[in-house]
Amino acid sequence: MSKTFYIETFGCQMNVHDSEKVIGTLEHQGYARVQDEADAGLILYNTCSIRDKAEQKVFHRLNEYKRLQGEGKKFAVLGCVAQQEGERIFEKAPYVSLVAGSASYRNLPEMLARLEAGETRITGLDDRQTDLTFETDFTSRSNPHRGYITIIEGCDKFCAYCVVPYTRGKERSRTSASVLVEARKMADLGYTDIQLLGQNVNSWRDPSGRMSFAELLTAIGNISGIRRVRFTTSHPRDFTRDIVQAIDATPALCDHIHLPVQSGSTAVLKAMSREYTRDWYLERMSWIHAAQRDISITSDMIVGFPGETDADFEETITLIDAVKYDAIFAFKFSPRPNTPAVHMADSTPESVKDQRLRILNDRQREIQRTHYARHLDQIVEIMVEGYNPTRNQVIGRSSQNKTVNFTTAQLENSTPPIGSYLPIRITQTMPNCLIGEALPPAGDATPFISINRTPHFVVLN
- Binds ligand SF4 (CB under 6 A): choice among 5, 6, 15, 397: 15
Query: What is the C-alpha separation between 149 and 286, in angstroms, rounded?
Result: 29
CB of 125 to ligand 5AD, least distance (A): 21
Q: Which x/- pattern, by CB under 6 A, does the window 232-271 give for ligand 5AD?
A: ----------------------------x-x---------
Query: What is the C-alpha separation between 338 and 231, in angstroms, rounded?
Result: 28
The verdict on whether residue 162 carries a ligand-binding annotation is yes
Q: H or E stretch including 61?
A: helix 54-65
Query: E strands along 338-442, which residues?
Result: 379-388, 393-398, 403-407, 414-415, 421-429, 433-438
Residues 33-52 touching ligand SF4, rule: CB under 6 A, are 48-50
Q: Is 302 in the site for ligand SF4 (CB under 6 A)?
A: no
Q: Which x/- pattern, by CB under 6 A, does the window 300-339 give for ligand 5AD?
A: x-x----------------------------x-xx-x---
Q: Which x/- pattern, by CB under 6 A, does the window 64-83 give for ligand SF4?
A: ---------------xx---
Q: Please, how many CA atoms are within 13 Å of residue 103, restricted to the half-sphere of its CB?
A: 25
What residues form DSSP beta bridges with 47?
79
CB of 55 to ligand SF4, least distance (A): 11
Q: Identify whether the C-beta of residue 402 lies closer than 8 Å to the C-beta of residue 382.
A: no
The verdict on whether residue 80 carries a ligand-binding annotation is yes
Report the residue number, 232 or 393, with the smaller CB distance to ligand 5AD.
Answer: 232
Write the DSSP symbol of residue 253: B
Q: Identify whether the C-beta of residue 268 lies closer than 8 Å to the C-beta of residue 305.
A: yes
Stretch that binds ligand SF4, among 85-93, 160-168, 240-248, 347-355 (CB under 6 A): 160-168
Exposed (0-12), middle (13-18) or buried (19+): which is 35, by Cβ within 10 Å? Answer: exposed
Q: Identify whether the C-beta of residue 293 lies closer than 8 Å to the C-beta of residue 254.
A: no
Q: Which does 11 bind (CB under 5 to 8 A by kind): ligand 5AD, ligand SF4, none?
A: ligand SF4
- Binds ligand SF4 (CB under 6 A): choice among 25, 167, 316, 348: 167
The verdict on whether residue 12 carries a ligand-binding annotation is yes
Q: Is 344 in the site for ligand 5AD (CB under 6 A)?
A: no
Residue from 20, 115, 31 nearest 75 by CA: 115
Residues 155-174 touching ligand 5AD, rule: CB under 6 A, are 161-162
Residue 285, CA distances (Å) to 253, 295, 325, 341, 427 in order = 18, 10, 10, 27, 29
Q: Which does 14 bind (CB under 5 to 8 A by kind): ligand SF4, ligand 5AD, none?
A: ligand SF4
Write out the binding residues for [4Fe-4S] cluster: 12, 48, 80, 155, 159, 162
Q: Which residues bind ligand SF4 (CB under 6 A)?
A: 11-12, 14-15, 48-50, 79-80, 163-164, 167-168
